[in-house]
Structure 1
Amino acid sequence: MKKFLQYTFIAVCFLPSAARAQFETIKDSVVQLYGVVMTADSLQGLQSVTVMVKGQNRGTVTNRQGVFSIVVLKGDQITFSSVGYKPKELTIPKNIEGTDYSVIQLMVTDTIYLPATVLKPRPRREQFERDFLNTQVPADNLEIARQNNDEAKRKVLMAYLPRDGQESNRNHLIKQSNKIYYTGQNAPINLLNPSAWNEFVKAWKRGDFKSKK
């Protein structure tokens, strides 16, 4: 018990000092990085360049004049990237004095060479007309919607497409509701009901009784 109290007393005495020392170390390593990103050929400020701390999910972008500012730590790696330019990396020195560090980052244009495309004319006018008239243009979303809303096509889809989960569940609930509604009594026979015969004829014309694969 005495040893436990001694260890506790020592920890209480030295932990604040250790925490203070660690805080001072982190505080000394914080650096305010600021600067300007420019094009290497014309020395013009580059807008919307992404400035990221490598390995961390934080960063900033340059303004219209190419100026940026971000808080980093000594030893951090900073990446500069922009569309059409080669990415650059910058390492913050660990031995800098003070809490400010300024840079002028030059970005070099990234040239991308695409494979050559050769355009050749048709040998004869007749061949061009034949190929142009026989070209199958794929239907866009509007045309596909029109085709799906065609009455004849909807009848075919209703006859052969299986029921989805919502339709099966609704049909099951209707049957259960009718069964509970006529509990304790005989269900009516609609053999001589004109309204029931009318619904039967409509369903027959729609093809509701065709087998669905």
Structure 2
Amino acid sequence: MKKILLLTFICWGITIAAKAQFETFKDSVVQLYGVVMTADSLRGIPSVTVKLRNQNRGTYTNEQGVFSIVVMKGDVIDFTSIGYKAKAVTIPADLKGNSFSVIQLMVTDTVYLPATIIKARPSREQFERDFVNTDVPADKIEIARQNTLTAQSRILQQSLPRDGTEGSSRTLRQAAQATYYNGQFRPQPIFSPAAWAEFINAWKRGDFKKK
């Protein structure tokens, strides 16, 4: 019997607390409605964004600038529209009742854009002339292609000095070749077709010309 009375008392306390919380929440809910107009001509502004600050909830004004939305006491309402300065309205936290109306006036926001110079369209001859004479800088791919050309590589090879690694490698190769043919005659490449082909190509390239 005591357990039943205790359980009944607990349920009764929870019901009272829930009812009090609901009454507090119900008292905090506010039906906000109003109209947004221009400050100079008092003309209704359509499609104005009416949004609760720091919340993903809001609405838009209709064609006459009228709106209606449910908010809470203490909420901040932001009014924004392209071409007008933004405005904000705070719902009083000590508001008596559950409705609040507002007439929000918005001022035109003047925006100065940079000057634009409009010129006549060039003729076909002018366009072709300017297009052909335009100096287009080479991109990275074109620069890499130019640096890998055979003629460019040969010029760089002849003009740039060899570093220590290349010099030591060349000396070691010459020493190894001299040791390999030590005590015997070296083969003469005069009868080698490959050597003659390389000689002819070098002659055509101008490798033997005096610089």
Q: Normalization by structure 1: what TM-score?
A: 0.52
Q: Residues 150-208 of structure 1: CA distance to partner in whole angstroms, max 9, x if unpaired?
A: xxxxxxxxxxxxxxxxxxxxxxxxxxxxxxxxxxxxxxxxxxxxxxxxxxxxxxxxxxx
Aligned to 2:185: none
Alignment partner of 2:86: what SS? Answer: strand
Instruction: Indicate the residue corresponding to 1:80 in structure 2.
Output: 79
User: Given residue 74 of structure 1, which amino acid in structure 2 is its aligned partner?
Assistant: K
Alpha-carbon displacement from aligned partner over 1:123-147 (angstroms, at most 9, x marks no partner): xxx9777327768xxxxxxxxxxxx
- The yes-or-no answer on 1:114 pairing with 2:108 is no
Q: Aligned residues, how many?
A: 133
Quick one: distance in 2 between partners of 1:78 and 1:66? 16
Q: Provide Cα deviations, 1:4-62, integer angstroms capped at 9, x if missing partner.
A: 99986653231111110000001111111111000112110001111111222221111
Match of 1:145 in 2: none
Please list every run of 5 or more consecutive structure 1 residues that lacks an aligned counterpart in the other structure.
136-213
How much does 1:111 deviate?
1.5
Distance 1:42 1:102 in 2: 21
- Name the SS for the 1:86 alignment partner: coil
Alignment of 1:123-134 (within 5 A): 130-131=129-130
Query: Alignment identity in percent?
Result: 65
More displaced 10-residue stretch of structure 1: 67-76 or 109-118: 109-118
Structure 1: 4+ residue segments shifted above 6 A: 4-7, 126-129, 132-135
Which residue of structure 1 aligns with residue 159 of structure 2?
Answer: none
AA in 1 matched with 2:73: K
Change (3 A) 1:86 1:134: farther
2:23 is matched with 24
CA distance in 2, matches of 1:46, 1:119: 34
* Aligned CA distance change for structure 1 residues 130 and 82 (closer, same or farther; 3 Å): same
- 1:101 shift after superposition: 0.8
Counterpart of 1:98 in structure 2 is: 97
Deviations 1:44-102 (A, max 9, x none): 00011111112222211111111111111111111111111111111101122222111
Letter in 1 for 2:72: L
Alpha-carbon distance in structure 1 between the residues aligned to 2:115 and 2:6: 76
Q: 1:171-190, aligned counterparts within 5 Å?
A: none
CA root-mean-square deviation: 3.4
Q: Is residue 66 of structure 1 aligned with residue 68 of structure 2?
A: no
For residue 115 of structure 1, report the CA deviation from its aligned partner: 2.6
Which residue number corresponds to residue 50 of structure 2?
Answer: 51
TM-score normalised by the chain length of structure 2:
0.53
Output aligned runs, 1:34-45, within 5 Å. 34-45=33-44
Counterpart of 1:209 in structure 2 is: none
